[in-house]
């Protein structure tokens, strides 16, 4: 039975949580939620939004009380057309006619419950491991609850706390299943967006989150539910689209480095350093020398004000105290909430159990745009139990270059951020690209603080250039390490002592040259190359390949948009041409509408073409992306038969963009028809198309795609398709005349 799992409420009847209130009243308030505004306004009106599933959980009361309470709750949930599930108790669910049950690993088995419950009953299963998740999917469960996400006092019999990393592993293990997924455990307003963002595996994401005390214990459950809905429907402010590697990635990045450095000098970014006191003076001088504004403050409460300057935060736990972690967490929250960059330098992460515990707390407590550390530190953050550091030194390396590149890439991919693994060769990755940097000088390893300063330098550049984190950090590393080479080459530098002032001078010299537009310091100096882990080499995408397995995606071309979308009739004419060609060529067609009840069906001009075996799906949705669970389960596995998806529809910068990114992330190829997509504001088209081209999509025309699919004038459908092209020549010309100029 299909169910919207996005905001899943689990009740708690304990007095401390309810605070003397009636449970049914609290649940009804949460169901009312509030109103969530769509980005398609003014065309789409405000639509109600609140809790989408309610689970009644009661571990203390006897059966009679549970039946009575569940029956009252059911009257409430039915009024809002939201399913009520009963935790553990199949008998209670049957007694009141609930829509389903949720079963733990120690409760009645799925198969036994299936025999007792009505055919269309919803059955969910608690899971905390890959094995449990796979079994639930194989058995036929409607959804699984994955957890525990974070430690919480509301459930004491949890087997393990798995966090976003463990959740991501489970999602990846069931990526080919259409089973629904929700995360549970310690989720609140401050972390829900990060949970959804960082848990996502390349091919499967969470369908929702299960909330207990953050709603039930809230003074205003309605307002709390409304806030959750708004957070769930929007990505976190720190989220960024991935950047697939280009054929000449290293060269393309290096071409932009001088301009990035000039921009940083111009911006004069503030960096809030929560750094060890041993190196703070040196690091502050380094930041000043490159044109940044450092503030050294270990007091977490100050972050509420400091983050308003829109600079970066550096967490460097070199001199850890009993108060450090709590202060770090306060600062991380403030900077995450504002979407400002946060850099984590887990100094000495594997040296003591206190530091290892600090790593665990911090990784669970917020999002880091960059994690920077030596081999031992990065391995500890990854989760290796075989690492032992002596103090803050990395110790002898046990990994070769390819293994280091793989470690940096895998950690960045897991955390959906950027990772810098430092050493004689630095390895920098955003989970897609891996760049090796061989600049620098041995003196850097002989001076206290030079490694710590890299975190501050990175924060400066992440503040100044936010659209590509990897490029920002690379620019900072190159400025820093080329300055070190310049300083070491001075005749008067005889060792580490004389190196330090020369190094600060050289940083200042590069800053001055950059401000004056002089890039001569950089010409031919970068020792950079793209490092491809072996697995990546074996799986390089063939982005230049021809269309072999076409599918047509038609996104939300509905009546209510007719008067709002730029050049809507031209968009429709292109779509009609593609639909007619799809019928002739028997190309699979996937169609979506957005909130059909309010915005209407696909426009009448296209209705006559929406019949036949090649029409694979016609799905109504609330997601902006077309990759709904219903459509995803119809798509082939990209590792065996990736689709060449041709997209037409609206809006270019919202639904088309999110659909394209989802398809690319899953390994399919995407062709966006420039004469077949539009938005309310025409300016949005060009911005979106440029972004999607950079992401790996092909932006082309309808006629080009049709003839590429044919491939040969001897094709049996050539006469029909070429005739269609001639018939629609003028409308195609008109569409291209408008759309290709934006």
pLDDT digits (tens, 9 = 90+) for 268-324: 999 999 999 999 999 999 999 999 999 999 999 999 999 999 999 999 999 999 999
User: What pLDDT score was predicted for residue 461?
Assistant: 98
Does 730 have pLDDT greater than 80? yes
User: What's 166's DSSP letter?
Assistant: H
Q: Among all chains, which residue has been given the structure tokens 């905001």?
A: 7
Question: Given pLDDT bands bounded at 50, 70 and 90, which one contains residue 714?
Answer: confident
Give the pLDDT mean for 236-256: 88
What's residue 537's pLDDT? 43
Categorise residue 181: left if φ over 0, alpha if ψ from -120 to 50, beta otherwise: beta
Is pLDDT above 70 for 38? no
In this prediction, residues 700-705 reach a mean pLDDT of 93
Query: What is the rounded CA–CA span in Å between residue 419 and residue 424?
Result: 16
Q: What is the mean pLDDT of residues 179-184?
A: 97
Q: Check: CB of residue 86 under 8 Å from CB of residue 125.
A: no
Tokens linked to 254: 């290096």
Given a contact cutoff of 8 angstroms between Cβ atoms, the answer to whether 350 and 374 are in contact is: no
Angle at which helices 729-739 and 718-727 pack, to 10 degrees?
Answer: 60
Structure confidence by residue, pLDDT tens digits, 197-209: 999 998 899 999 9
**Rounded to the nearest 10 degrees, how much is the dihedral formed by the CA atoms of 363, 369, 375, 377?**
-30
Query: Helix (H, G, I), strand (E, B), or coil: what is residue 389?
Result: coil
pLDDT tier for residue 693 given thresholds of 50, 70 and 90: confident
Other beta carbons within 10 Å of 201: 19
Give percent above pLDDT 90 in the chain. 80
418/420 Cα distance (integer angstroms): 7
The answer to whether 125 touches 144, Cβ cutoff 8 Å, is yes
Distance, CA of 396 to CA of 375 (rounded, Å): 9
Q: Hey, where are the domains in the chain? A: 7-232, 249-536, 550-739
Find the catalytic residue in 452, 460, 555, 655.
452
C-alpha Rg value of the chain to the nearest Å:
28
pLDDT band at 17 (very low <50, low <70, confident <90, very high): very high
Candidate from 120-129, 272-281, 368-377, 685-694 with smallest mean pLDDT: 685-694
pLDDT at 44 (0 to 100): 35
- Specify the pTM: 0.71
Q: Is the model's pLDDT at 535 over the cut of 90?
A: no
Number of Cα atoms under 13 Å in the Cβ half of residue 584: 20
Question: What is the rounded distance in angstroms from the CA atom of residue 600 to the CA atom of residue 594?
Answer: 8
pLDDT above 70: percentage of residues in the chain = 92
**pLDDT tier at 739, thresholds 50, 70, 90:** confident
Report the pLDDT value the prediction gives residue 45, as an integer from 0 to 100: 34
CATH code, residues 249-536: 3.40.1190.20
Cα–Cα distance, 423 to 421 (Å, whole number) = 7
402 falls in which pLDDT band (50, 70, 90)? confident
Q: Which residue has the tokens 């880091």?
A: 368
3-state SS class at 254: helix
Cα(403)–Cα(384) distance, integer angstroms: 14
Contact 681, 570 (CB under 8 A): no
24 is known as an active-site residue? no
CATH class of 550-739: alpha beta
Mean pLDDT of the chain: 91
pLDDT computed for residue 244 by the predictor = 80
On whether the CB atoms of residues 433 and 530 are closer than 8 A, the answer is yes
Residue 46's pLDDT is what? 32
Q: Residue 37 — pLDDT band, cuts 50, 70, 90?
A: very low
Tens digit of pLDDT for each residue in 341-367? 999 999 999 999 999 999 999 999 999
Dist CA 64 CA 475 (whole Å): 67
Label residue 322 exposed, middle or buried (CB < 10 Å: 0-12, 13-18, 19+).
exposed
Which has the minimum average pLDDT: 194-203, 477-486, 686-695? 686-695
Superfamily (CATH H level) for 7-232 = Aldolase class I (3.20.20.70)
Instruction: State the SS3 of 468-534.
Output: CHHHHHHHHHHHHHHHHHHHHCCCCCCCHHHHHHHHHHHHHHHHHHHHCCCCCCCCCCCCEEECCCH
What are the pLDDT digits (tens) for 90-100?
A: 999 999 999 99
pLDDT digits (tens, 9 = 90+) for 132-181: 999 999 999 999 999 999 987 655 444 578 999 999 999 999 998 999 99
pLDDT surpassing 70 at residue 104: yes
């Amino acid at each position: 039975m299909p169910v919207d799992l996005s905001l899943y409420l689990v009740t708690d009847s304990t007095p401390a949580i309810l605070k003397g209130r009636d449970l049914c009243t609290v649940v009804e308030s949460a169901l009312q939620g509030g109103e969530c505004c769509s980005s398609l306004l003014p065309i789409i009106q405000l639509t109600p939004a609140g809790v989408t599933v309610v689970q009644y959980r009661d571990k203390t009361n006897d059966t009679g009380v549970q039946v009575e309470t569940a029956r009252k709750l059911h009257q409430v949930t039915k009024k809002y057309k939201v399913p009520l599930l009963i935790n553990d108790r199949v008998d209670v669910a049957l007694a009141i006619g609930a829509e389903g049950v949720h079963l733990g690993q120690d409760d009645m088995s799925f198969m036994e419950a299936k025999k007792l419950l009505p055919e269309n009953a919803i059955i969910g299963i608690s899971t905390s491991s890959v094995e449990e998740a796979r079994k639930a999917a194989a058995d036929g469960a409607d959804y699984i609850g994955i957890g525990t996400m974070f430690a919480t006092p509301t459930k004491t019999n949890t087997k393990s706390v798995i966090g976003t990393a463990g959740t991501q592993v489970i999602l990846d293990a069931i990526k080919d299943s259409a089973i629904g997924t929700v995360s549970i455990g310690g989720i609140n307003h401050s972390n829900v967006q990060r949970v959804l963002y960082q848990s996502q595996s390349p091919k499967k994401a969470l369908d929702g989150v299960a909330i207990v005390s953050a709603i039930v214990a809230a003074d205003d459950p309605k307002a709390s539910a409304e806030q959750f809905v708004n957070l769930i429907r929007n990505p976190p402010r720190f989220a960024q689209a991935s950047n697939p590697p280009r054929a000449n990635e290293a060269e393309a990045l290096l071409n932009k480095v001088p301009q990035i450095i000039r921009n940083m000098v111009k911006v004069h970014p503030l960096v809030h350093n929560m750094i060890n006191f041993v190196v703070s003076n040196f690091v502050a001088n380094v930041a000043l020398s490159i044109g940044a504004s450092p503030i050294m403050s270990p007091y977490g409460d100050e972050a509420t004000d400091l983050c308003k300057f829109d600079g970066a935060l550096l967490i460097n736990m070199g001199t850890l105290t009993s108060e450090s972690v709590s202060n770090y967490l306060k600062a991380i929250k403030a900077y995450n909430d504002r979407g400002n960059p946060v850099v984590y330098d887990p100094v000495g992460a594997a040296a003591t159990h206190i530091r290892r515990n600090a790593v665990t707390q911090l990784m669970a407590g917020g999002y880091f745009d960059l994690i920077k550390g030596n081999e031992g530190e990065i391995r500890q953050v990854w989760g290796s139990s075989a690492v032992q550091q002596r103090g803050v030194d990395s110790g002898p390396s046990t990994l070769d270059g390819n293994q280091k590149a793989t470690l940096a890439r895998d950690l960045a991919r897991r955390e959906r951020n950027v990772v810098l693994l430092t050493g004689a060769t630095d390895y920098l990755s955003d989970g897609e690209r891996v760049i090796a940097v061989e600049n620098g000088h041995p003196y850097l390893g002989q001076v206290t603080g030079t490694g710590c300063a890299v975190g501050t330098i990175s924060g400066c550049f992440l503040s100044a250039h936010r659209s590509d984190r990897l490029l920002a950090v690379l620019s900072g590393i190159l400025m820093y390490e080329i300055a070190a080479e310049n300083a070491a080459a001075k005749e008067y530098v005889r060792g580490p002592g004389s190196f330090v002032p020369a190094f600060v001078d050289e940083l200042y010299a590069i800053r001055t040259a950059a401000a004056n537009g002089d890039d001569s310091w950089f010409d031919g100096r970068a020792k950079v190359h793209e490092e491809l882990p072996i697995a990546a080499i074996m799986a390089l995408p063939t982005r230049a390949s021809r269309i072999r397995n076409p599918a047509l995606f038609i996104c939300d071309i509905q009546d209510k948009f007719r008067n709002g979308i730029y050049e809507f009739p031209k968009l429709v004419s292109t779509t009609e041409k593609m639909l007619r060609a799809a019928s002739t060529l028997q190309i699979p067609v996937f169609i979506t509408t957005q909130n059909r009840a309010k915005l209407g069906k696909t426009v009448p001009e296209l209705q006559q073409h929406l019949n036949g075996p090649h029409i694979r799906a016609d799905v109504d949705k609330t997601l902006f992306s077309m990759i709904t669970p219903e459509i995803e389960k119809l798509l082939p596995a990209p590792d065996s038969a990736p689709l060449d998806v041709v997209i037409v529809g609206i809006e270019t910068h919202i639904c088309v963009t999110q659909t394209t990114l989802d398809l690319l992330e899953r390994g399919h190829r995407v062709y966006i028809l420039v004469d077949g997509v539009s938005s309310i504001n025409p300016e949005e088209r060009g911005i979106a198309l440029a972004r999607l081209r950079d992401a790996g999509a092909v932006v082309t025309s309808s006629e080009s795609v049709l003839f590429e699919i044919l491939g040969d004038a001897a094709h049996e459908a050539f006469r029909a398709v070429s005739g269609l092209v001639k018939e629609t020549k003028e409308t195609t010309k008109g569409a291209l005349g408008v759309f290709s100029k934006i």
